[in-house]
Structure 1
């Protein structure tokens, strides 16, 4: 058992964390440059080597917080990384270095007034998962119910604040250099949402609300909250049994199974958005569980984002018109949802229409194969080719978390690689006849 000065806790101090990231950037940056040279020579399709990926996992797993969340996002992109490298980075989704049981017991007692042994019939000292803000332990209540207990890392609030200060300085510097590069509103949105994740009482409330939002879909499962065993830094939920998406994919499921799970992921994203104006904005594969009874279990509710009615209604109308294959005034609807446009109308409309054309491929075809999907690659190329012009089309700040969720969904669907009638699934989302 580790000592009280647990070396698995996230490093403290703004400059200490910045120093570790700077060292990592130099190491990984050199690897990326070498990879780029190999690409030009016709070899090495991967952006990172396995050795560089191990360095990322080691350092970001130690730092936890926002740095680790960034690594989780990178691990999801199938177009930038080889399967071998993605498998290494996927450990950041729920396999960070764990804090000692002594630290876990201390946090539980500080928050709930008694040690785990007094509150639970059983409490596993080894964690089920260790993520960016806390780690999860399996336990059993006195009434025999199996539960998952999430315990926050001591000091992670300060670590997260320091990460945001460091990132905020970068954003501020870039914004001062050019008005077109001003990302302060988007950074503020991301910062505010991330810091809210530290309050597990809020997460408990969001979990209960999300359960109501998907209640009409029995194929989706949200674990119940055990309020008597939850507090600001401890959250106890019903334990869901099954394999997380990242552990399920290596079992080589059939296309029928892949399509079923892909459909469930689409429903889990859009049903709560259109029915209750909220979305799960942390969609990495460790947050979804394929359960033995065929349901999709949803995990981690700290990043549930709630949107303005205008944003939801306009997006719903846009999707409905798209699915009906009816014309839509894309520029007017973009402004209606909160975009500001500093380009000539025809030019802006052409750029936005191409985004929708690329993203909407699975919605137009009765047979779409996500295994060969090139949406992410083509979208990245479209933005790269037109970067100066896209800087003059600014989405509303609340769109940051929407894009995080829907972009993550697209990456998950690409990883699952199912083939089938996805148009029918999106028609189902919009309540339109197939």
Structure 2
């Protein structure tokens, strides 16, 4: 780790960080067990271990930090207070030095920030997994944010995935049944694309176009003349992150409104335009003072094959309208590989759909009591062999990341209401004018 806060890049440096973290974690667990048997308090130890865990992943940034962000969304993983420590990874990685940020901006845009902007804050608004964000103001008075990519982060991401592939081979996870390389490759490809800020600007514009009929959903717009491959300037939206909103203790009506907006923001573009924001951690959403929802960070936006979307939309249509639906034919149409007998496949799909469709089968659903994520995990453990024989296409990785993340956010919001009607309205819009054309 350099003094400037730049992440380690090479495979050995990054795997070394993980190994040291694992060693400390194992020692901490052992000591915790001893103290627990002795009847001693372990909360301080838990806080210390988790604080160190969050700090190291924050230093590493890249894919390693993204794993920490995913853990911070898991309502069942940790008590709320301890989960709050990990939640810092959503936007509070150790920042790199302001002088280095200025050097990157000048190298990318041809002038230092004080000449490019009427105002530029040296203190970051947020420090995320691939870059950090600074507040600024343009000469015309517009408030903007400037996202600056960490030096060497693309190499660091590649190193993380190379290490993951090596560990999978060492663990023997390369047989036909256990081979998950295509899913790792899909995730690697999408995360590497997040380091292309020109592509991210295009995706932001595309999302703004798709959500233009939704006045209560906001997409920051890129400022091309102040952007490049490694610097992205966007119009600023002020508000609280979704996590800050949740922590503020909103009333039931506010929680319901934000939950509805979240579903429309994540699921709406998927059904209407085959487009998905696939990084839905709470730091990527802002709730404004007037109650609108802003989407942030368009590095991880996935465009799906029309037939994949249509297969899922057909299922939703049958569920909402009470029509018959052949789930096995549907997953095959979506590109699933089914290497087991029909009865086993149908049995597995029936259990999956029973869990996944709970909010759709009642007019009042309470997400504060939702157990769909842990129940799906338990099903995966109980029928692991069957899951390995009903394999989704690689693109489903990003859908799972988005849908699972959205479900965790909804559970954290804990709203109670008619979620079925929200999905029904999304379906009615796609039936009246479906558009699964490819986007950015």
* Residue of structure 2 aligned with 1:168, choices 165, 168, 174: 165
Measured in 2, the distance between the counterparts of 1:343 and 1:274 equals 30
Q: How does 1:423-434 map to 2 (within 5 A)?
A: 423-431=420-428
**1:287 aligns to 2:263 (yes or no):** no
Measured in 1, the distance between the counterparts of 2:352 and 2:37 equals 28
Q: CA deviation at 1:36?
A: 8.2
Measured in 1, the distance between the counterparts of 2:258 and 2:41 equals 32
**1:348 aligns to 2:345 (yes or no):** yes
Is the contact made by 2:315 and 2:325 (CA closer than 8 Å) also made in structure 1? yes
**1:308 aligns to 2:308 (yes or no):** no
* Residue of structure 2 aligned with 1:27, choices 10, 24, 27: 24
SS at match of 1:246: helix
* Residue of structure 2 aligned with 1:16, choices 13, 16, 37: 13
Measured in 1, the distance between the counterparts of 2:324 and 2:29 equals 43
Residues 105/7 of structure 1: CA separation in 2 closer, same or farther (3 Å cut): closer
* Residue of structure 1 aligned with 2:124, choices 127, 137, 161: 127
SS at match of 1:397: coil
**1:273 aligns to 2:270 (yes or no):** yes
Measured in 1, the distance between the counterparts of 2:403 and 2:214 equals 19
Q: How does 1:168-247 map to 2 (within 5 A)?
A: 168-174=165-171, 177-247=174-244
SS at match of 2:122: coil
Provide, for residues 209-233 of structure 1, a one-character-per-residue CA deviation record: whole Å limited to 9, x for no partner. Answer: 0111111211110011111100000
Determine the structure 2 residue equivalent to 1:393: 390
The count of aligned residue pairs is: 429
Q: Which moved more, 1:370-379 or 1:202-211?
A: 370-379
Residues 20/311 of structure 1: CA separation in 2 closer, same or farther (3 Å cut): same
Measured in 2, the distance between the counterparts of 1:366 and 1:45 equals 43
**1:264 aligns to 2:261 (yes or no):** yes
Q: RMSD across aligned C-alpha pairs, in angstroms?
A: 2.3
Q: Which moved more, 1:262-271 or 1:322-331?
A: 322-331
* Residue of structure 2 aligned with 1:69, choices 44, 66, 71: 66
Measured in 2, the distance between the counterparts of 1:93 and 1:332 equals 39
Q: CA deviation at 1:44?
A: 10
Measured in 2, the distance between the counterparts of 1:367 and 1:30 equals 46
Provide, for residues 252-304 of structure 1, a one-character-per-residue CA deviation record: whole Å limited to 9, x for no partner. Answer: 10010000000001001111111111100001000000011211000000000
Q: CA deviation at 1:112?
A: 0.4
SS at match of 1:300: coil
Measured in 2, the distance between the counterparts of 1:428 and 1:32 equals 48
* Residue of structure 2 aligned with 1:149, choices 146, 151, 155: 146
Structure 1: runs of 5 or more not aligned: none
SS at match of 1:123: strand
SS at match of 1:11: coil
Provide, for residues 114-173 of structure 1, a one-character-per-residue CA deviation record: whole Å limited to 9, x for no partner. Answer: 000000000000000000000000000000000010001111122112112111212344
Residues 116/425 of structure 1: CA separation in 2 closer, same or farther (3 Å cut): same
SS at match of 1:132: coil
Measured in 1, the distance between the counterparts of 2:374 and 2:2 equals 45
Measured in 1, the distance between the counterparts of 2:42 and 2:83 equals 13
Determine the structure 1 residue equivalent to 2:102: 105
TM-score by length of 1: 0.94
Measured in 2, the distance between the counterparts of 1:36 and 1:404 equals 33
Determine the structure 1 residue equivalent to 2:331: 334
